[in-house]
A and B are shown apart, each in its own frame.
Chain A
Amino acid sequence: MTTQTTTAVRGGVFAVAALVAAGCASGDSILNAGNDGTRPPTPRTTAAPGAVGPGTTLSLTGRAVPTTIDLTGAAPSPAAATMPLAATTIPLGGPSGPSGFAGAAGSARPLPATAPVGYAPCPVSALDERDPAAGPVRITFWHTMTNVLEESLVALTDAYNASQDRVVVELSNQNGYEQVIDTYFQSGHADRPHLVQMPDYMVQQMADANTVVPIGACIQTENYDISALLPRALLQYQTGGVQWSMPFNVSNPVLYYNRVMFEEAGLDPDDPPLTLEELREFSEALVDSGAATFGWAVDTGIDSGGGWFLEQWFARAGLPYSDNGNGRGARSTEVLFNVPEAVDMLGFVQEMVLDGLAVNVGDNPGAQDVLLKLADPEQPAAMGITTSAGLGTVMTVLDGGLIPGLTSDDIGIGPMPGPTDTPSAIVGGASLYIVRDKGDAESAAAWDYIKYLISAESQSEWAATTGYVPVNVDAVELDPLAATYAADPRFRVAYDQVLAGADDFASVGPVLGPMREIRSVTAQMMAHIYDGTAVEDALAAATEQANLLIIDYANRN
């Protein structure tokens, strides 16, 4: 290279090095980059407009959507537009201007040019009005079901396609929740499918993106009878008074335990622990008797012990996880998990880990490590909490002999232990969203397919094969599910758990925009706690980071 180039390169290099290295560490999170002004303010004590206090019961009158929603696609009525932007903003950027964020503290940021003007209507009659000579409507369905779950979905879909000639559903396996989220949000609207399956924590983001037809619109337009559907499952996917999606595969955490070890320790294998104190007692018995090395396996996975379970416990204890009615009345502006009850709960679990009664199996990315710890030949744990969605797979795998010395009969299933002695759980899993502006006939076809999937017959098949909780309560009385529940009551545990529990905001679980990232923060916090950090400090740090995420999300969306 010429000397000039070399000098230029050298100069540039040192300038860059100076930029990166010379600045001392700011001790701040990357999420605050570029934000001027102070760090997040102290939590507000006054409720935001439209906020709903804890303890308010959601009423289900068979109509999932308030009647004030205008379904013609025009601007929503004021009462229905209960998704105000965060009233408290950290001023981003420099002086306010048309293209930047507002500079004055406390003022709401200007709406982006593409603000949603109204909820998309549901053209339920488009399918009937369609000319049959035009052939069947073809719709694509992006789903994330794999293995046994995929087989069952394929069977259901093939049956649907064969049973009528108006709609043909084409399945496209996106291989996982992460992937479907990424691809859906990155795609241009023309590349999106007609129907998409999104995990439970995506409600707020899907609502904000306003790329879907709210299921509530379909329900209301057609006057569809939802009395047979699980209320809590429907509630999970409601926010701002709008029913956004239809629950399809419902799961919640259950306790998997080794019956043989229970017997060895002198415990009744039909009476699993229900409260945290019982969990400790049982663990002590198991470890002291030598039946197991550890009583209980915990993990720090995002969708399990690090994130999801925390929401479960808060809901069970009736504590709100975030403000504004757990994000269901209006958008949450902060998380509320830094409370004394949480300190007690998490401190209790921390003690179990530090005392050697519980073992931390790590980040558990595939949701299998807890179960594998149960099957560990050298240092097993006797109990573990994992999603009920794995039940079918676990039984099949054990019966296939994957783990030497362990058969499926040795596994007991109990309700998730928690801070109270009444079992209850919030709805997890995924739900189905109809994508808007993809054609009236297509949206109607997607709605028709959804109705098929949540019918009692389909849900009976689905739940019996996969272990998911049936969304339709009538399915419990139909075979094959009735037979499965009768033959193996273990498959019922998740279902019974979902039925219990109150219907107020706190018990239904939170809705937050950056839910996934907040779960990552709480998982981090749990890892610190299991590592021995003081619970109060960990909670405080997590709260701060989570609030940063919420503010960042609110300012961007």
Chain B
Amino acid sequence: MADAPVAADVPGADRAGARLAVAERLTLAPYERVGGLRAAGRYVLLVVIATVVLLPIYTTVVGAFKPRNRVLHNMLVPGYFTLDTFRDAWTQGNLGRYLLNSLIVATVATAGQLITALFSAYAFAYLDFPARRVMFAVFLATLLVPAEATYVVNRRTVDGLGWLNSYQGLIVPTLATAFGTFLMRQVLLSLPRDLRDAARIDGVGHVGFLRHVAVPLVRPTLGALGLFGFLGTWNAYLWPRLITTDDEMNTVQAGLADLRAQGLDSPNLVMAGTVIAALPIVVILLLFQKQLIRGLTAGAVKG
């Protein structure tokens, strides 16, 4: 959505700014103005499509608030509002524990991914070492490897290390991505070269440079990468399914599958579980909209 310029330091600027934005928008070019019948037609289309898009979310949310003996009546009509199902999903369905597991895994994995991406990006951007071209090619090659193809052996490796049903098993294999490395390398390369030289003259080491100089400057990209790393780890389904079976170690996605398998006698419970599982991401995405869009477009629009 277009950002309208807002003078933030003027008191009451928000409303003035909004008015400004509206005023700006109202000066549409003739071909942009959509009036009368065409507008109505568009609205109808928009509403129809929006209904279809919202239908699954709507039924799940509506069902989640219904008690068990009402969930199969009139599934499209909300009524019989109760929060008991959520409480049951939390306790009986163990969703609290699942959310905690997902949170731990996703947070640690994301932090790890950012650090490893920064380090290796720094190495590729600033350091010169003998195997550089080879390593770069290797990193490039790993982009082509689909994660699913590695799970057969990774499961054996993780089992050999005794990491089945553990946080390490869930986190460690995801700690580095070539995509992160390349993204950060691109960003670091776009920084002025003298920054690094100046820092070196000042006696700042690799890590120090990253911490004090680079990170503040590349924060937006770092934020986008972090958001995507978090989302990716949070939403991962196959890997957690493969290596965790213990109910106490399930992540939220794997836990949902178990909930569904056990819970068809209480569909509202499964629906409530689904809503609870989706909520954190909704909140995060609402908070980090900008990073989301920046991250999505980073790969696309750059020519």
Contact = CB atoms under 8 A, between A and B. Distances in A.
A176 B261 contact: yes
B245 A183 contact: yes
A236 B79 CA distance: 50
Interface stretch (A167-175, A208-216, A308-316, A451-459): A167-175
A115 interface: no
B68 A401 contact: yes
Interface in B106-148: 137
B262 A402 contact: no
A404 B162 contact: no
B9 interface: no
B258 A191 contact: no
A190 interface: yes
A397 interface: yes
Contacts of B5: none
B247 A402 contact: no
Interface string A171-189: 0111110011011001110
Interface string B49-91: 0000000000000000000111111000000000000000000
Contacts of A408: none
B159 A188 contact: yes
A183 B164 CA distance: 8
29 contacts: A147-B262, A147-B265, A172-B248, A173-B248, A174-B247, A175-B258, A175-B262, A176-B258, A176-B261, A179-B245, A186-B155, A186-B156, A186-B164, A188-B159, A188-B160, A188-B162, A190-B162, A191-B165, A366-B261, A366-B262, A366-B264, A397-B265, A397-B266, A401-B69, A402-B69, A402-B72, A402-B265, A403-B72, A404-B73
Contacts of A366: 260-262, 264
B246 interface: yes
Interface of B: 68-73, 137, 155-156, 159-160, 162, 164-165, 245-248, 250, 258, 260-262, 264-266
Nearest to B258: A175
Contacts of B246: 172-174, 183
A227 interface: no
A191 B160 CA distance: 10
Contacts, number: 71
Nearest to A393: B265
A5 to B, nearest CB: 8
Given A174-B245, A174-B247, A403-B72, A191 B162 contact: yes
Interface of A: 5, 146-147, 172-176, 179-180, 182-183, 186-188, 190-191, 365-366, 368, 372, 393-394, 396-397, 400-404
Contacts of A397: 68, 265-266
B142 to A, nearest CB: 15
A-B CB proximity, top 10 nearest: A401-B69, A179-B245, A173-B247, A183-B245, A397-B265, A146-B262, A175-B258, A174-B245, A368-B264, A186-B159
B164 A402 contact: no
Contacts of A5: 137
B43 to A, nearest CB: 36
A248 B73 CA distance: 38
Contacts of A402: 68-69, 71-72, 265-266
Nearest to A390: B265
A404 B258 CA distance: 26
Nearest to A172: B246
Nearest to A176: B261
A182 B73 CA distance: 39
